[in-house]
Amino acid sequence: MIENSLIDRLSPLVDGRVFFGVAPEGAAQPRLVIQTVSGSTGFTLSGWDGSCDLTIQLAAWGESYLQALTLAGEAFNAMTIDGEDFTTGGADRLPDEFEDDTKLFSVSWEYTLQP
């Protein structure tokens, strides 16, 4: 399951602070938040061909822009290493964010993963 592999690959970067969907209120910084964007499977005329992929958004959050940017770079390196668990077929940088209410910065990438 790719989701478990994501946690295994990314947890060492942030002492285990990898969350799916939304980080819990008060979660320490820096942290990574993963959201599933889409998944797809391949078909031929005879049915499912066994292929599939998963597209995720990976947001690196920090108390400063530099902290978020550095973490996003470390996460990019971890995500783009081909492994037995999955490979990254594509990566696109998304717009940076600043949350005025929390004063947190985010640098995000969208990755397409194949098992």
pLDDT bucket at 42, cuts 50 / 70 / 90: confident
What's the domain count of the chain? Answer: 1
Q: Which residues of 16-46 are buried (b: 16+ CB within 10 A; e: fewer)?
A: ebbbeeebeeeeebbbbbbeeeeeeeeeeee
Tell me the CATH number at 92.
3.30.2000.30
What confidence score (pLDDT) does residue 99 get? 96
pTM: 0.89
Q: Enter the DSSP assignment of 95.
A: P
pLDDT bucket at 32, cuts 50 / 70 / 90: very high
Which residues form the domain of 6?
Answer: 2-114
The closest alpha carbon to 34, from 50, 52, 14, belongs to 14
